[in-house]
Amino acid sequence: MASIFDVVLYVLIFLSVYVQVFFFVTFLENRKKIIIRNGKTKLKFYPAVTIAVPCWNEENTVEKTVRSLLNLNYPKDKIKILLLDDGSSDNTFKVIKRFEKYPNIKIFHKENGGKYTALNLALQNTETDFFGGLDADSFADSESLVRIMSYFEKDPEVMAVAPSVIVSGPKSIIRNAQKAEYNMGVYLKKMLGFLGAINVTPGPLTIFRKKVFDDLGYYRHGYNTEDMEIAYRMQKNNYKIEHCNDAFVHTNTPGTVRKLFRQRLRWIYGFINNTIDYKNVLFRKKYGNFALFTLPMGVISIASVSYLFGRIIYNLVHFLYLKIVQLKVIGFNFSVRSFNFDPFFVNTQFFIFLIIFIYLLVIFSIILGRKMTEGKWNLSLDMLYFFPVFGLIAPFWLLKAVYNTILQRKPAWR
Amino acid sequence: MIDWKKYLIVLLITTGLFFTAIYLSNYFGNKKIDQLKSIQDKIAIDILSSETQFSLLSELSCKNFSDAILSSELNELGKKLEWGQDNLGSSEELVYLKKYYSLLEIKDYLLAKKISTRCGTKSTFILYFYTKTESCTECVGQGIVLSTLREKYPGLRVYSFDYSIDLSAVKSMLQIYKIKDTALPALVIEDDVLTGFHSLEDLETRIKESFKLQETTPIEGNNNKASS
């Protein structure tokens, strides 16, 4: 008889396989719709767009961010750039002041109130029909905006378009691991876009119709994940969100484990708490795949990783217990045994095959995401970093986010 | 718009994958059980062969009858059965195999003992009674000590018996040596019953003594006993 722990494991594995197969089937259905454009994109009509750059202590990156906006392949008189210093304690304000001379740039300075307050100040000063933000640690590719705007031109029902966010910054093991993860994110986001089930409109250059904010209200704190909360609100009101896979925005990702941990803790905490706030949406068919697939998928992921991690810890403790007993009863009297590989001892329990299957589909997602961002089909070394880095650290931020939610402790921004 | 058909198709594919994984697992599990069976068959033949040879011993000299003919694969089988119980699930087939293994151990033990007595070969036997239940915290350590000893002294034969196995032959041994589940782990060395945990040093001393005893035992002196 399987124990209750085994049954929980099998159920979680079943659901995890379901999620991966769902993505794969969505890919097979829509693969011909994934278009990666080369060269300059042209629109019939170029609507005016306001892009806000909220900054908080971003003196090192904000200049490059603004320059990337000035270099966009989009008529200059159609882009309004709002630079908002959210009470920085470094030289950010001095740096952005240098852009005062540009006629399409406006500078704002306010007391620190959080990113969403800076975005709301920008919204108050927006007169265009389209609005977007660009985080001050991100850099837009020159073709990104025009490609995003082509989605609005094609479909008047589209209310927001998210870009493909890819990793920038000096190379390190942590960044390379994130590179593979972000590539996978591009693929998954595209699939969620096909399903009409995107749950985050990322800070780096998601463009909205201003109508969204006029209808649904401005940004909210959203547990420091305002870009997630607004997406939830849009989904709740059946506002269509698309993903423009060939609009690339490079973002400066955390370069150390500590910074990565804090960022992900904020994201997962945001996911858990926004999902709790929007719990009435869950499994309600009128909210579409967002309610039936995206949100349950997130919950399944957190539950599966936490549970598997718990089992691994249990097995590790058991292993250590045996080693301690061994040390206690025979000391360092270990005999050197010759290692003979015997296939008999290879674990062939059925869930092992399913875990291998899940891993294969994850690898497939990363490869496809890489094809969509870098145009290359081959395997990259980043994957070698992805599995150990995220496998080892992710459970900790997941569990910490659950713990913080239970104790109502809010994580800091960085 | 929700595409319910897609949800259903994905459910069918996932279920299909689940059953495929179960099929594969059973396939490899059965292969492993077949492997265990073939090892057991080999051991059974080895023992039968040794017994037959032993019956002929009166016509042969002990020179032709060495320790090497005793089945060397019992240890490997024990390890594989133990692993199988933890990883292949406790199927009836495995329970049956474990019973068969215990029986083979007893036969091997009896035969080895006879040969040892008859020929004075340098073999030391330890009967080890344990239980896998959590009540026996010392069984884990005792198992490690015995494995270490077995590696150190290849001539040492350790026969392990699960206390809770439902086999009359094992129950008889428990009765003979008056072993109770409260006194586990229990060891039988040279007909002495030792209960509770015994350290590596302690057992090593006993084994060395046992070796000496056997070395000093005159071969001829036992001939009469063995043939009686």
Q: Is residue A340 part of a domain?
A: no
Residue with tokens 């691991």: A177
Q: Which CATH number does the domain housing residue A411 bear?
A: 3.90.550.10
If you measure CA to CA, which chain A residue comes closest to B153?
A: A335
| pLDDT at residue A224 greater than cutoff 60 | yes
Is the Cβ pair B11, A325 closer than 8 Å?
no
Third-level CATH fold of B4-227: Glutaredoxin (3.40.30)
Residues of chain B contacting A354 with CB distance shorter than 8 Å: 17-18, 21
The per-residue pLDDT for A412 is 66
Residues of chain A contacting B32 with CB distance shorter than 8 Å: 344, 348
No. of helices (H) and no. of strands (E), chain A: 13, 8
Give the single-character DSSP code of B201: H
In Å, the largest CA–CA distance within chain B is: 94
Residues of chain B contacting A289 with CB distance shorter than 8 Å: 2
Q: Is residue A198 part of a domain?
A: yes
If you measure CA to CA, which chain B residue comes closest to A21?
A: B10
Residues of chain A contacting B35 with CB distance shorter than 8 Å: 344
pTM: 0.86
- The pLDDT tens digits of the residues spanning A349-390 come to 899 999 999 999 999 999 999 999 888 887 788 888 999 988
Task: For residue B149, give both structure tokens.
Answer: 């000893």
Q: Is residue A267 part of a domain?
A: yes
Give the strand order in the sheet containing B192-195: B156-162, B124-130, B186-189, B192-195
Summary mean pLDDT of chain B: 79
Is the Cβ pair A348, B32 closer than 8 Å?
yes
What's the CA gap between A116 and A112, in Å, rounded? 11
Q: Is residue A61 part of a domain?
A: yes
The per-residue pLDDT for B75 is 76
Q: In the structure, what pLDDT confidence band is assigned to residue B215 with cuts at 50, 70 and 90?
A: very low
Arithmetic mean of pLDDT, A127-145: 95
A325 near B CB under 8 A: yes
Q: Is residue A337 part of a domain?
A: no
Classify B164 in phi/psi space as left (phi over 0), alpha (psi -120 to 50) or beta. Answer: alpha
Q: Where are the domains of chain B?
A: 4-227
If you measure CA to CA, which chain B residue comes closest to A289?
A: B2
| pLDDT at residue B102 greater than cutoff 70 | yes
Q: Which residues of A171-188 are buried (b: 16+ CB within 10 A; e: fewer)?
A: eeebbbbbbbbbbbbbbb
| pLDDT at residue A273 greater than cutoff 80 | yes
The per-residue pLDDT for A414 is 57
Return all residues near A67 (Cβ < 8 A) that are at least 6 apart: none
- The pLDDT tens digits of the residues spanning A179-202 come to 999 999 999 999 999 999 999 999
What's the CA gap between A201 and A221, in Å, rounded? 15
Is the Cβ pair B148, A18 closer than 8 Å?
no
DSSP H helical ranges for A110-246: 115-124, 144-154, 173-195, 210-216, 226-236
Choose among A292, A274, A293, A275: nearest CA to A283: A292
| pLDDT at residue B224 greater than cutoff 60 | no
Element (H, E) at B11: helix B4-55
A315 compared with B111, residue with greater pLDDT: A315
Question: Residue A314 is part of which domain span?
Answer: 1-40+49-330+347-414
Q: Is residue A284 part of a domain?
A: yes
The per-residue pLDDT for A392 is 87
CB A241 within 8 A of CB A163: no
Is the Cβ pair A329, B80 closer than 8 Å?
no
The per-residue pLDDT for B58 is 59
Number of compact structural domains in chain A: 1
Q: In the structure, what pLDDT confidence band is assigned to residue B220 with cuts at 50, 70 and 90?
A: very low
The per-residue pLDDT for B223 is 39
A22 near B CB under 8 A: yes
No. of helices (H) and no. of strands (E), chain B: 7, 4
Is the Cβ pair B25, A350 closer than 8 Å?
yes
Element (H, E) at A84: strand A79-86
The per-residue pLDDT for B179 is 83
- Count chain A–chain B contacts defined by CB atoms under 8 A: 85
If you measure CA to CA, which chain A residue comes closest to B29?
A: A348
Q: Which of A101-105, A226-230, B89-93, B144-148 has the lowest mean pLDDT?
A: B89-93
CB A121 within 8 A of CB A86: no
Arithmetic mean of pLDDT, B150-169: 84
Task: Please state the length of chain B.
Answer: 228
